[in-house]
Amino acid sequence: MHIVFNALFLLAAIKWGDWKRWKVYYPTILFLISVDSIKNFLLYKHMMWTYQEVFFGKALLQNHTFINLMIMAIVYPATILIYLGRFPKGRWKQTLWVSLWIFLYWLIEYINLRFLNLINHHNGWNMWWSLLFLAVMFPMLRIHHKNPLLAWGLSVLFTVFLWNVFQVPIKILK
């Protein structure tokens, strides 16, 4: 099923992505992939959520790592090409656009959690934390596009906040 979701994101990017200016968005694509990679590295033994495949492609997508790498390679670039490529002018339209993306990602996670069993939450993570995370992530992507250093600094602060809220033990680090 993850293959289907990734294919839908790819098709959406082909249709609505700003491919002519992909080089402009490339740093933000790398930022999103980097932050997710750092999260996976730091929380390897204390995951907040994990992906699993239960339908199609179980032989190919055997665990969280393979699924997450596919998401990084397809969903993240597709998201950035559409999200930033079609970012509107005007505060009201921008607010609606960001809200649409937060809702879309949250809805996909909800369906994957409650109905398709493609994601599991761990260590106190839940849909409300996902909503907060997405409410930070999507504005952060726009901030990174405009001011990368500010986005990195704010991301570190948000990471420290989450680390403390979830009381992640230092001993889990490699």
Secondary structure (DSSP) of 100-164: HHHHHHHHHHHHHHHTS--EEE-TT--HHHHHHHHHHHHHHHHHHHH-HHHHHHHHHHHHHHHHH
Where does the pLDDT of residue 61 fall: very low under 50, low under 70, confident under 90, or very high at 90 and above? confident
pTM value? Answer: 0.94
How much is the average pLDDT of 124-137? 98
Of 106, 125, 107, 114, nearest to 43 by C-alpha is 125
How much is the average pLDDT of 55-79? 91
Measured between alpha carbons, how far is 155 from 136 in angstroms, rounded to an integer? 9
Judge whether residue 109 has pLDDT over 80. yes
How much is the average pLDDT of 53-77? 90
Alpha carbon 87 to chain centroid, angstroms: 18
How much is the average pLDDT of 37-52? 94
Q: Show me where the domains of the chain are located.
A: 2-172
- Mean residue pLDDT of the chain comes to 96
Report pLDDT for 103: 98
Residue-wise pLDDT tens digits, 79-106: 999 999 999 999 999 999 999 999 999 9
